[in-house]
């Protein structure tokens, strides 16, 4: 009799537990189902690129401000100064010629360089605009010459009085697109050197 009661009790407990588990599963499924907003594909991919300014000489401050201009205006990519000894995707150095750069978009683990040319600065061009312009090349933006001062990528054709270091709406959109999920696997235009001499 004890055995029958135990078996009957076990069956009752098993049925109750099965019902409870099914109910909990349904409740859990209902509360954890993704909302339409959660199931939409995300359009952005936050990429951090590091730059090495250890050879930028007197241009270190201008380089930091040029990087900050991009950081203030785009979301998909962030430019950060590399710590000493840390690998950087973008190497910045000073030279006596005209500014030049390798055209990107550089990807994490890749490598491009920026040359901050003293010749342009000696002729009156703004170092912060030069730095922001050259970072634009690293992010995959080509020159837009001739162009107005309102276009960062117009470079030297903006004139020596142009101090604009902020990318315009089209330039921001292109950088965002270059670092979106859709473009994340695309190859950069490696090896193309862009010279900013007029």
- Catalytic site residues? 134
**Residue listed under structure tokens 């859709």:** 182
Cα(first)–Cα(last) distance of the chain, in Å?
Answer: 102
Structure tokens at 37: 């907003």
Alpha helices in 58-187 (DSSP H): 60-73, 118-122, 127-138, 169-178
User: Taking the CB of residue 71, how many other CB atoms lie within 10 A of it?
Assistant: 14
3-state SS assignment for residue 29? helix
Count Cα neighbours of 122 within 13 Å in the Cβ-side half-sphere.
10
**Residue listed under structure tokens 């930028």:** 56
User: Taking the CB of residue 195, how many other CB atoms lie within 10 A of it?
Assistant: 14
Percentages helix, strand, coil for the chain (3-state, rounded to 5) are: 45, 15, 40
């Amino acid at each position: 009799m004890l055995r029958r009661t135990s078996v009957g009790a076990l069956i009752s407990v098993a049925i109750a537990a099965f019902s409870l588990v099914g109910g909990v599963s349904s409740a859990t499924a209902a509360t954890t189902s993704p909302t339409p907003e959660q199931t939409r594909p995300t359009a952005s991919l936050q990429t951090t690129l590091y730059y090495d300014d250890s050879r930028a000489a007197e241009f270190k401050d201008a380089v930091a401000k040029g990087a900050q201009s991009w950081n203030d205006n785009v979301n998909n990519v962030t430019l950060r100064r590399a710590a000493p000894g840390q690998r950087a995707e973008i190497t910045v150095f000073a030279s006596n010629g005209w500014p030049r750069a390798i055209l990107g978009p550089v990807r994490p683990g890749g490598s491009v360089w920026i040359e901050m040319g003293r010749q342009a600065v000696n002729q009156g061009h703004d170092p912060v605009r030069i730095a922001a312009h050259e970072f634009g090349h690293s992010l995959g933006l080509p020159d837009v010459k001739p162009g107005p001062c309102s276009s960062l990528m117009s470079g030297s054709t903006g004139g020596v009085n142009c101090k604009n270091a902020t990318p315009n709406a089209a330039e921001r959109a292109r950088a965002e697109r270059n670092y979106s999920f859709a473009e994340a696997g695309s190859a950069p235009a490696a090896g193309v050197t862009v010279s900013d001499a007029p």
